[in-house]
Structure 1
């Protein structure tokens, strides 16, 4: 290791400040001490003549009796030295020897909306380039780049993608955790002296600890107040840590977890630690709209060129592994009769796949099921004016497969340990060039030889062991396929919502929020996902009744209305429905087509109600808006409080209708059914301030509200 072989680099003078401006926000950083940069201000845009030295002084506390003479504050690159006892940004070792890091600030460049700060670690020469950039009116992207200058072999045991002091107005944090079939459960905590740690594991950040955070100034029960949303965009594991010191200063760090043994760096190596996105909203609804705008503008591939989002029918809940060409053609014909626009063949179509015990990795059409290949089925589907989609799980391999028998070392494994399976499968190590080329060529052959418009890309098994490289190989594979097959849409599924991030969405057109289609569960799951992601990429399907996961029976009217708010699909067998159910579903598919441009282009907001069982959503696009309100429980009062619909032009007049089909029991309580059907003229102010009195007493009741401005 290099030991102080060069003079100390120049230090930035204490008190030096840097101002970054976006259209609606300002960041102010200040050199706070030896090699420390502090965040002095994050908020609405400041006046041009703001005195930054006065701003810094006005927010600075003097030293009290029980702290070092020159207190360490950590700042944007906290390190364990000189009395600082927070979480350090980096932990490094050389061989078995831990290094006492001494990162020295050598340069800061700030211009307009961005700042790049550079530190060099004194003994190892490791260079850290920290880049803060305002990219939208209120959106910030933070990236950290490492350069191994003059380094011997070192290991990064911990490395932060983001470290920052939290502005004091944010006293609470809402995090999102979950499990399979119950994703994105919101938990609000008060930031205090007990450290809060959220860690994901095994390559599924959406289950153990969702990589989405909201910081705010209240207990999360109301919508008011400024809030800061944060997303760690890698598609691998991460750790988020919040700790408040004894003086009340709270700091956040987010680390992208790599190999269990750390990140090995040799002289000349470079590494990126993943991007973290921060968005500052005036309130939660504003934060949601800012996230939606950012995703549509900066993340989704060629979003402006997308056409209308087609209604799906997926074969899984209808047929599972009980497949043959005749059954699939019958199912496709029934789907077309409902108005479905895309038919997706799920698991079970490839060689040796009669159950989940075998076949993954052998991505060739099973001739025993499809003697003529997939083409006759695709021709039948397209003859019904639908396009064709296919399920794949390319990252996995079954021990009972030709691929595994030929290449048993292509899976992630430890040579000295057993190879435990999950769902009877292992994970292909796609960081290997031979395995990568095999999977890429197998998928390319499917796409070259068949007219496939859509891939449902699944990822069911967790990554254990994990070499830390899989996530980068997946992004590379998806990027290559998107480049070569730009017309093919890709859905990202990972046992539902187990792997959702901007890093995945840069290559995909849709996510599968959960394997759970129970409409009551889906209302909560979709409510959480929609805080961050727009409806057009959130697959939302009408499932069977009883639901295969919860066992709950629900009315078709209720299931269809819930599924309409998202990218609508159907995952059940129309032949198992009554004619009345098919008619109700057909009518809702038609409503979705009528309103999807509003749902998928407009401004989304949650509708807040005092009744805990009521969930509401509304999307406003120009002169039209569509809302859905649903009751999951049994209301305390028979006449629940009116549904208020904010976000419209207060002085405009609107025609307000309740689109049919209506919930059967609840419709008997409408005060004037004919008028609700033909339309009432109401101002935007009345809709926002007084609202609509709707029958929402009984469980599993849902209403659609159509709102159209009058000329």
Structure 2
């Protein structure tokens, strides 16, 4: 038994966590903040944050801590709900051991009646990131335990965090930020589609203001799972709030047999001085600890995806024509989207039959791929391996390979069902089908889609997909994989461990995309956020937008094109070609540099800037009609304040807005300004009208020290 008041200190490069044994089997979080001095008196620190008892509480109040349980009088949300022998267990997890040192702590509890062991590991990674992993081990001497619910993380929230920003959404409108004050009414966020994206984003920020400003310490949290989750925040009568994140279990629970080990998923915590700082820390963490071999990636190639140009109207001649038009624009990767495989004439059939359709491609895909290569582009292919069409040879041969309930009908979505990849036979079939495609063709890239929601869901699909992706990544390390799920429906560190890119949304409308990208870029670096120039009018919103605006918005991300060059005027082609060239010139900055949002008083102006190696590129985009004709200057922070920079506005310029430049020749040749002037005074740019965007190029002078 650990003595009450025992404390443990974890240190990273710039962060300290202090835990304390707060009572019987409870560990509390006593401090989470910037790194403390080496000689800090932890006993004094703990006492400085402790309240005395008031008149209306137990003499020894239960605080829940890292593993809250109802046993002993705690009335918050318990970490575990389990059954044994068909009976609900009044859990009594007893703290068995704590090991701590440097950046690591591992705490172990054992449930008294069932012997279920909980190993909870906290590890500080890098400067300010903390990874929390919880594993369950069942006792060999006990029978099957049914897990009804289990928390991946229970976190007593530091009292300075009074507000929470969460991200919810739907198809084509992902990552809508909503800020809520933490109070006595519980806040619950739940995803229930077998993937975490649309119902309740598994990205949270806790902060001390109403979210309208960007100042003040904040805590970002990400639950890394490919499946459903539930996040719950509740504040007790004394003002103490706790966050609980758990994998959402299925009705009937998950059976744990004797000797089983179960990982409840990893949760990442990152502490920032403010939200811009938090963004930089998230980007650094993703680049250095999550993305597969990120340091070995080359430049992020410009894509052209065939979907918006041709949809299902495919044949070899049309695709070759489209590829030639793409190469003329400067495209570097040609991606053949849906419709290439056996029986696929629309979205009603074919999924599961991953063989090239000889009726469309009598000579196979090789002539098209060879044509693409001759144009100095590489070739990518769309797949949706987790799905099966009832109208397919695979389903007719193996109708029980899909997720289903024998007692009920098999409802479809998008005319498709979900393959149960937890079955060894279904898993092997899909793996071998994909391996055959990659073995027989020179494919550099897979666009991996996942459109249908999981109903029913056996709770095992997320683990099977990670196993499948891991096996393919091991055997085909040169193949890049994009994770798409009706857009941003399944984005997590669990997926990004195997993928090189995500598709943030099916919505390419540039005005919608600015907001969507702003939210995603809060957590993820630009090089993995696919951002495409779509058609006008936009097929989802119906909005018409000019090519200059669409291209400038798409440049800030992993740029691509998802429209038909044959439908463009020569002027539009020239504008797009120029922006693709700009992207190639600046992509090393965009994809390696330090990113930040540019904040402006005009709420309809979106701004982003990336700084790297003495160079910076910024975009300022207006989506509405400004209140004042001359909006306030765009301020550009994070440059060396005492260095001189040459500032230009790369062409092409927005046609209407360029007429309002005070001295176009001067903006073309460049202004020389200090980093301090750019941050404090800023640039007066014409941003009055909707669909206006300016690129701002900033390059340090060689003799720029003042």
**How would you bin the TM-score normalised by the shorter chain?**
over 0.9
How many residue pairs match? The answer is 701
> Matched residue of 1:206: which SS?
coil
Moved more, 143-152 or 465-474: 143-152
The question of whether the paired residues in 1 share the 8 Å contact of 2:196 and 2:225 is answered with no
**In structure 1, which of residues 539, 551, 554 is the aligned counterpart of residue 542 of structure 2?**
551
Q: Which residue of 1 aligns with 2:513?
A: 522
Q: What is the CA-CA distance between 1:164 and the residue it aligns to?
A: 1.0
**In structure 2, which of residues 637, 648, 666 is the aligned counterpart of residue 646 of structure 1?**
637
Q: Which residue of 2 aligns with 1:7?
A: none
RMSD (Å), alpha carbons: 0.6
**In structure 1, which of residues 93, 96, 100 is the aligned counterpart of residue 83 of structure 2?**
93
Give TM-score scaled by structure 1 length: 0.98
Q: What is the CA-CA distance between 1:272 and the residue it aligns to?
A: 0.5
Q: What is the CA-CA distance between 1:204 and the residue it aligns to?
A: 2.3
Distance in 2, Cα, partners of 1:652 & 1:209: 44
Distance in 1, Cα, partners of 2:117 & 2:430: 36
> Matched residue of 1:239: which SS?
strand
Distance in 2, Cα, partners of 1:311 & 1:236: 31
Q: What is the CA-CA distance between 1:153 and the residue it aligns to?
A: 1.6
Q: Which residue of 1 aligns with 2:195?
A: 204
Q: What is the CA-CA distance between 1:230 and the residue it aligns to?
A: 0.2
1:24-423 map, 5 Å: 24-149=14-139, 150-423=141-414
**Deviation by residue 1:61-88 (Cα, 9 ceiling, x = unmatched):** 0110000111000000000122211000
Q: What is the CA-CA distance between 1:259 and the residue it aligns to?
A: 2.9
**Deviation by residue 1:606-631 (Cα, 9 ceiling, x = unmatched):** 00000010000000001000000000
Distance in 2, Cα, partners of 1:82 & 1:482: 48
Q: Which residue of 1 aligns with 2:488?
A: 497
Distance in 2, Cα, partners of 1:206 & 1:147: 29
> Matched residue of 1:600: which SS?
helix
**Deviation by residue 1:622-675 (Cα, 9 ceiling, x = unmatched):** 100000000000000000000000000000000000000000000000000000
Q: Which residue of 2 aligns with 1:476?
A: 467
Moved more, 533-542 or 90-99: 90-99
Q: What is the CA-CA distance between 1:605 and the residue it aligns to?
A: 0.1
Q: What is the CA-CA distance between 1:331 and the residue it aligns to?
A: 0.3
> Matched residue of 2:606: which SS?
strand
> Matched residue of 2:29: which SS?
strand
Distance in 1, Cα, partners of 2:125 & 2:636: 31
In structure 1, the gaps of 5 or more residues are 1-10
**Deviation by residue 1:271-294 (Cα, 9 ceiling, x = unmatched):** 010000000001111100000000
1:588 aligns with 2:579: yes
> Matched residue of 2:137: which SS?
strand
1:619-658 map, 5 Å: 619-658=610-649
1:611 aligns with 2:602: yes
Q: Which residue of 2 aligns with 1:425?
A: 416
1:681 aligns with 2:650: no
Distance in 1, Cα, partners of 2:51 & 2:6: 17
Q: Which residue of 1 aligns with 2:651?
A: 660
Distance in 2, Cα, partners of 1:465 & 1:699: 45
**Deviation by residue 1:177-226 (Cα, 9 ceiling, x = unmatched):** 00000000000000000000000012121100000000000001111100
Give TM-score scaled by structure 2 length: 0.99
Distance in 2, Cα, partners of 1:193 & 1:549: 40
Distance in 1, Cα, partners of 2:502 & 2:251: 28
Distance in 1, Cα, partners of 2:177 & 2:85: 41
Q: What is the CA-CA distance between 1:41 and the residue it aligns to?
A: 0.2
1:488 aligns with 2:479: yes
1:695 aligns with 2:694: no
Distance in 2, Cα, partners of 1:619 & 1:151: 56
Distance in 1, Cα, partners of 2:613 & 2:18: 36
Q: What is the CA-CA distance between 1:256 and the residue it aligns to?
A: 1.1
The question of whether the paired residues in 1 share the 8 Å contact of 2:84 and 2:114 is answered with no
Q: Which residue of 1 aligns with 2:450?
A: 459
Q: What is the CA-CA distance between 1:136 and the residue it aligns to?
A: 1.1
In structure 2, the gaps of 5 or more residues are none
**Deviation by residue 1:85-130 (Cα, 9 ceiling, x = unmatched):** 1000001112431110000001101011010001000111100011
> Matched residue of 1:28: which SS?
strand
1:573 aligns with 2:564: yes
Q: What is the CA-CA distance between 1:50 and the residue it aligns to?
A: 0.4
Q: What is the CA-CA distance between 1:563 and the residue it aligns to?
A: 0.1
**Deviation by residue 1:410-435 (Cα, 9 ceiling, x = unmatched):** 00000111000000000000011110
**Deviation by residue 1:129-178 (Cα, 9 ceiling, x = unmatched):** 11011011100000001110132221111100000100000000000000
Q: Which residue of 2 aligns with 1:6?
A: none
Distance in 1, Cα, partners of 2:80 & 2:338: 44
